[in-house]
Amino acid sequence: MASSMANIDSRRVTYLTLDNDELEEAVLDILCTEENGPTLRDEIISYLVQGHLPQDSTLARKLKVKAARFIVIDKELYKKGYSQTYLKCLTPNKTNYVLREIHEGICGNHLGGRALAGKALRQGYLWPTMKRDAEKLVKHCRSCQDHANINHQPATLLQPLESPLTFAQWGMDIVEPFSLAPGQIKFIIVAVDYFTKWVEAEPLAKIAKKYVINFIRKNIMCRIGIM
């Protein structure tokens, strides 16, 4: 108000009054972020407890097939397993709490997304988007981002290996170990031309300087030549 009256020559002070208190007229809007809409879990419970089925015959048949793998105990839905205990099926408004408790609770160790979903499964919980929700939680965890093993070096252009001519530059390496072959052979010496990607290889029984020199002389110098 003061800034708007800076250019007014009058020295009078303007003020506004309200008949009622502002706090009494305020209306507080509470936003609900939980997903409480109908889910497949509710449909399965309705079918197992009350026998309700969709009007569509195809949907009804699919629901019967899915419901055969579930059971209701004390109004809670559990999925049956052949070699594991019953898995409690959670509603969308409880999955975030379970993931956070496992990820950063009193016994949490800030697992990755895949490991977090697996641990929640071993704890006896199940919901359709378990892996996706776990990966999303890990990406938004501040501690995981601060202490993750991430390369913070600035991005640079790739530096490809350049060779001016065919067979002008070679790369060599010894590959091992392999299963023992006749002649006690268990190594392979490999040479690759940088320009054409041509490969020369030879099996070896042992790694020694004389064998490497003989390989270069026989497979590169005598066959291809020296540039």
pLDDT digits (tens, 9 = 90+) for 155-207: 788 777 777 888 888 999 999 878 888 888 989 999 999 888 899 999 998 88
Asked if the structure places residue 70 within a domain, the reply is no
Element (H, E) at 201: strand 199-204
Asked if the structure places residue 130 within a domain, the reply is yes
Q: 142 and 179, same structural domain? A: no
Average predicted confidence (pLDDT) for the chain? 80
* pLDDT for 27: 43
Asked if the structure places residue 198 within a domain, the reply is yes
The first and second tokens of residue 25, run together, are 């007229």
Last residue of some domain: 146, 161, 184? Answer: 146
Asked if the structure places residue 60 within a domain, the reply is no
Give the lowest-confidence range in 89-93, 115-119, 148-152.
Answer: 148-152
149 compared with 127, residue with greater pLDDT: 127
Q: What is the pTM of this model?
A: 0.46
The count of domains in the chain is 2
Asked if the structure places residue 203 within a domain, the reply is yes
- Given a cut of 50, is residue 41 above it in pLDDT? yes
Asked if the structure places residue 17 within a domain, the reply is no
Which one, of 120, 117, 151, 146, lies nearest residue 134 by Cα? 117
Q: 134 and 182, same structural domain? A: no
Domain that holds residue 199: 170-221
Percent of the chain with pLDDT over 90: 11
Q: 212 and 176, same structural domain? A: yes
* pLDDT for 144: 81
Asked if the structure places residue 83 within a domain, the reply is no
* pLDDT for 150: 67
Which one, of 62, 59, 65, 120, lies nearest residue 87 by Cα? 120
The first and second tokens of residue 92, run together, are 């969308």
Asked if the structure places residue 178 within a domain, the reply is yes
- Given a cut of 60, is residue 18 above it in pLDDT? yes
d(CA 127, CA 96): 11
